Structures are given as structure tokens and as C-alpha cells.
């Protein structure tokens, strides 16, 4: 079994649960899609959020998307002087080959629609 790591970051427009969950779900789904992987390939997911994103746990988005059988950790990132604000970062361990292991998305805001799950 080959275990690889995927990682990425996304800016979150507003410190509200919907934006945090949308950004987290989008980042994970884009990383999996770009690497031709599915939720069943995921071993674990670790999120960090800057200190100004405290309205929700980003990992909750994965539960809503159907990834309920994997360990998910949400943690607060160190505050660095001059560091970026309202950033969400993720580290995903997967069974499979990482073809495009890094992704940086622009700042996002949740659209007026629900997130769709994936298996």
C-alpha cells in the first residue's frame, strides 16, 4: 500500500460556519479530483485555521460530505506577525499516488446552495 500526502490552502472570505465549511469541502474535493482519488482513498485529514477563523471546525464539512469513517483533526495555526489572515490549510493522507500534491485556492465565500457529498 502506497501512502501519499496532499496539502493545500484556501482563503475564507467571512468567519461564518458556511464559508469555513464550503472552503474546507472545496479544498478537499479539488485535491482528490486533481489526483484521481475518492473519499475511500483517504486515510486521515488534518486542518489548520488561522486564529481569526473560529466560527466552526473545518472538519465538520467532511462529515456533511459523507466522509464519516476517517479521522479528522481541526487545529488552530500559529499566529505569525505579518502572516496571512483568514486562511485554511489541509494535509490529507491517502492510499494512492499523489500526482498533483499541492493546491492553493483563492479566497472563497459559500454560494447559496448545499454541499453535495461524495463517496
How many angstroms separate the first and last alpha carbons of the chain? Answer: 20
| pLDDT score at 65 | 83
**Mind listing the pLDDT tens digit for each residue in 21-59?**
999 999 999 999 999 999 999 999 999 999 999 999 999
**Domain residue spans of the chain:** 3-78+85-99
Q: By the 8 A CB rule, do 101 and 35 touch? A: yes
The CATH class, in words, for 3-78+85-99 is alpha beta
pTM: 0.87
CA of 9: how far to CAs of 6, 92, 108, in Å?
Answer: 11, 12, 11
Amino acid at each position: 500500500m502506497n501512502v501519499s500526502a496532499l496539502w493545500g490552502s484556501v482563503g475564507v472570505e467571512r468567519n461564518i460556519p458556511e464559508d469555513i465549511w464550503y472552503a474546507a469541502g472545496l479544498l478537499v474535493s479539488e485535491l482528490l479530483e486533481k489526483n484521481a482519488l475518492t473519499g475511500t482513498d483517504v486515510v486521515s485529514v488534518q486542518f489548520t485555521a488561522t486564529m481569526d477563523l473560529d466560527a466552526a471546525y473545518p472538519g465538520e464539512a467532511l462529515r456533511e460530505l459523507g466522509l464519516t469513517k476517517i479521522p479528522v483533526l481541526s487545529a488552530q495555526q500559529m499566529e505569525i506577525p505579518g502572516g496571512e489572515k483568514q486562511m485554511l490549510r489541509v494535509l490529507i493522507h491517502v492510499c494512492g499516488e499523489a500526482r498533483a500534491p499541492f493546491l492553493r485556492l483563492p479566497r472563497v465565500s459559500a454560494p447559496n446552495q448545499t454541499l453535495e457529498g461524495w463517496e
